[in-house]
Amino acid sequence: MDDDAALGQIETEVALLMRLGEATRRATPVAAHRSLDRAAYVILRHLQDAGPQNVSALAARLNLDGSTVTRQVSAMQRDGLVTREPDPHDGRGAVIRATRAGLNRVDAVRAARTALYGEILADWSPGDRRALAMLMRRLNESLDAHTRRTR
């Protein structure tokens, strides 16, 4: 396969991955898979890894508009998943912190998704799983870098 054909196949496979990932989430009977929408999951995972953040930092890290993150955070706050606290470095601002309920929910979703991918990839060798994990991370890093360059 030449490079142009490979790039064309990558484009198609990424499009299918996004569609099938969402379809799999919706079709899976485990309630945890549907207990957080994609936006809330990504925000909570980032807060879990990086700690409390202001909306600007969240927006920059997630490549989103600040107003989009503000709306998502407001909905998450209503659901008890995050809190807003005064920013100790900027008295006018606020930092977003995941609540214990939010962290519990994201842990449940992550565990359910990990188990699901364990089932889906059961016939893959451990080496193939590790290779996929590494290549997906590289793809996401490249997509993130591209997005940051073009903003």
Looking at residue 26, its pLDDT comes to 76
pLDDT in tens, 121-132: 999 999 999 999
- Residue 30 has a pLDDT of 67
Query: Rounded to whole angstroms, what are the CA distances from 56 to 15, 18, 62, 86, 135?
Result: 29, 26, 10, 14, 29
Structural contact between residues 76 and 40, judged by C-beta atoms closer than 8 angstroms: yes
What does the alpha-carbon distance between residue 22 and residue 96 come to, in Å, rounded to a whole number? Answer: 27
Q: What is the mean pLDDT of residues 5-20?
A: 92
Q: Assess whether pLDDT exceeds 80 at residue 90.
A: no
Q: Tokens 């490549």: give the residue.
A: 63
- Rounded distance between C-alpha atoms, residue 34 and residue 44, angstroms: 15
Q: What is the pLDDT of residue 39?
A: 87
Domains of the chain: 32-120 (1.10.10.10)
The SS3 call for residue 123 is coil
